[in-house]
Amino acid sequence: MLGFAAMAMRRGLQLWHRDRRLPKNLVGVMGPYSRAVTDGLERAMMPLTAAGACLGAVFLAWFAARGGHPTGVPRWLGAIALGGMFVSVCTSFVIVWFNRPRWMVPPFMRSELGMTTA
């Protein structure tokens, strides 16, 4: 999970610095969705990456408890990571649907319409 987050972070940083879209073969992996949805998923790459990293942290907290119920510090770290994952996923949906908040969208994609306004 953390490896996926690292790979997605690399792709997200490429979106921010190269001012061009992801390669077509990578966009095809996102699923059989309409063009508005895949464009939104590209815009929301960084929050989705944060959600994947938080999910990896939740798994690490669970493995630190050796498969049982986490207690102490792993429990709180897992709870914080789970909250971060919830916020990241909600932010991703808002970016896909409305292209807001603009400061979280790559600069060259800020003028695009969201899925509900397209």
pLDDT tens for the chain, 118 residues long, are: 677 778 888 888 887 777 677 666 665 566 677 778 878 888 888 898 889 889 888 888 888 877 677 778 888 888 999 999 999 999 999 999 999 888 888 888 888 888 887 5
Q: Where are the domains of the chain?
A: 2-109
Give the per-residue pLDDT at 26.
60
* pTM listed for this prediction: 0.79
| 109-114, Cβ contacts within 8 angstroms, sequence gap of 24 or more | 109/15, 109/39, 109/42, 109/43, 112/39, 112/43, 114/40
Burial of 80 (0-12, 13-18, 19+ CB in 10 A): middle
Amino acid at 43: R
Number of neighbours of residue 26 by Cβ within 10 angstroms: 11
Structure tokens at 82: 């789970």
